[in-house]
Structure 1
Amino acid sequence: MINTTIENGVATLTLAGPGRKNALSPEMLEALTGSIETLRRDASVRALVLTGEGGDFCSGGDVSSMQGPSDAAAVRQRMAASQRPCTALASFERPVIAAVDGVAFGAGFSLALMADFVVASDRARFCLAFARIGLVPDFGALHTLPRMIGVQRARELIYSARELSACEAQELGLVLEVVSADALHARAYEFARAMAAQSPDGFAMTKRLLAQTFERDLGALLDAEAAAQAIALTSPYVREAAARFVRKEPPAFRWPQRGKSD
């Protein structure tokens, strides 16, 4: 269900169900949650790439598992279980890069939005298809999407359930870069490898504060910022970075140049 590899501090989680375009069956969701939690406990993992097998990212929820009579309480219980990968990713305090090829539909699109960055192939397609079958967007899309593109644009994508090309998704700010399919995984790994060189504590605190941006007022954020900066400025990572600067050596962290892998 989930294939895991770790190389140079970068873990790659691959959704492995190509016969159904990596649809999120209950078994797939349980395996994904377990894999994320295992990586959380592994201090050697400094960044995560999330991708799909067989030329697609994820077609969304497994519609075949939605058939048959069920009462609302049972569905609510099932939804609570299916949301565990969402909360596990949201609280994963290391860089997460989604490498999207082929389809990212429904909950598959929502899953990609849980990453810090989305890198897509030029043949990737995105769609919040929930309205096509009378469903409400899930897997956190109602939280992440308006924060990324604004409420009105989010309404349009949700209500219309229309498909986006990789280029339009990039224009809207949902995708950071679009590369060829052949270059996709190398480019996502390149981002992850570069970000793995950041201070783990500094990144974790920054990611945590960014998640609170729309829930706290300026005063509260300034206070939290000061507390986080006190920890960062007294860390061995910053001392070494300052020493490198004085010695006129290149920094340990360098953002990968645009188009290097394309």
Structure 2
Amino acid sequence: MSEVLIDHDDGVTTLTLNRPQAKNALDMSMRAALREAIYAIRQDRSVRAVVLRGAGTEFCSGGDVRGMNVESAEAGRNRVDDLHGWIAQLVDLDRPVIAAVDGVAYGAGFSFALAADFVIATSRARFCMPFMKVGLVPDCGALYTLPRIVGMARARELIFTAREVKADEARTLGAVLEVVEPDALEARSKTIARSLADASPTMFALTKRALNMSLNSDLRTMLELESIGQGVVFSTVFHREAVQRFRNKATPLFNWPTS
């Protein structure tokens, strides 16, 4: 049985971490399957949005500690560096990514969720950066994503206290967009994914890439990216049709789905 299940449905691809017996902990086999899946998605333009989820009642409990038998600094670095290749591809994916989080999102599982554009969590979801407890550095992109999402001071606190954060607090911190009941998670996540899949792919791609650059850039560079991006999207079919619909007071091409 595959450790990552892949489902394609009307432009939305769902990746399901499939080790429910281990709370979907990331072992080497699952990591390899995720790498292949994400690289394939990047090459497939029929995929217009992605949903990340865990099988069963847990999202992901982090790295599989039973497989962390690292004998040298070089081996340890290579182990994590191999992981970061596909994490970077996911963070920079030019299409919408929604993480549907139920149960635990611990360690690399929390980091994996933060790689998405939006996190939808259930009321029983729990988030934690427990790396201090095992003497490891946060990985899976957390040192990049967490400070940008919750701020540097709060990122320090979450990492250095290794405390658990429940769904409502995670929403207050900005790490979670919406909190829903467990039986509504799948439907809500896919509704958002389908809505974003119908948005302008060019606008979304250019804007996401620019936002990912913004905190490492300067005003003049970002203004130039705005000008170039706007020049491109002015020429798209989506923009022309959206303007025509606005003038005719017709239904917009994109509407965020109300909860």
TM value normalised by structure 1:
0.96
- Measure the CA separation in 2 of the matches of 1:218 and 1:252: 31
Per the alignment, residue 24 of structure 1 pairs with 26
Query: Is residue 89 of structure 1 aligned with residue 90 of structure 2?
Result: yes
- Measure the CA separation in 1 of the matches of 2:40 and 2:141: 22
Is contact 2:195–2:256 with CA below 8 Å preserved after alignment?
Answer: yes
Is contact 2:80–2:139 with CA below 8 Å preserved after alignment?
Answer: no
- Measure the CA separation in 2 of the matches of 1:85 and 1:188: 22
Per the alignment, residue 61 of structure 1 pairs with 63
CA RMSD of aligned residues (A): 0.9
Per the alignment, residue 196 of structure 1 pairs with 197
Residues 61-90 of structure 1 show CA distances to partners (whole Å, capped at 9, x for unaligned) of 0101113x5111111111111212211201
Please state whether the residue corresponding to 1:99 is helix, strand or coil: strand
Per the alignment, residue 130 of structure 1 pairs with 131
- Measure the CA separation in 2 of the matches of 1:39 and 1:137: 26
Per the alignment, residue 106 of structure 1 pairs with 107
Is contact 1:124–1:165 with CA below 8 Å preserved after alignment?
Answer: yes
- Measure the CA separation in 2 of the matches of 1:149 and 1:78: 27
Is contact 1:24–1:62 with CA below 8 Å preserved after alignment?
Answer: yes
- Measure the CA separation in 1 of the matches of 2:80 and 2:120: 28
Give the letter for the 1:24 counterpart: L
Deviates more, 1:87-96 or 1:156-165: 87-96
In the alignment, structure 1 segments of 5+ residues that lack a partner are none
- Measure the CA separation in 2 of the matches of 1:176 and 1:153: 17
The equivalences for 1:1-262 within 5 A come to 1-67=3-69, 70-258=71-259
Please state whether the residue corresponding to 1:255 is helix, strand or coil: coil
Is contact 1:103–1:124 with CA below 8 Å preserved after alignment?
Answer: yes
Residues 154-192 of structure 1 show CA distances to partners (whole Å, capped at 9, x for unaligned) of 111000000011111111111000000000010010110
Deviates more, 1:40-49 or 1:187-196: 40-49
Is contact 1:103–1:125 with CA below 8 Å preserved after alignment?
Answer: yes
Q: Which runs of 4+ in 1 moved over 2 A?
A: none
In the alignment, structure 2 segments of 5+ residues that lack a partner are none
Give the letter for the 1:49 counterpart: V
Is contact 1:26–1:82 with CA below 8 Å preserved after alignment?
Answer: no
Give the letter for the 2:127 counterpart: F
**Fraction of identical pairs, as percent:** 51
TM value normalised by structure 2:
0.97
Deviates more, 1:71-80 or 1:160-169: 71-80
- Measure the CA separation in 1 of the matches of 2:143 and 2:92: 17
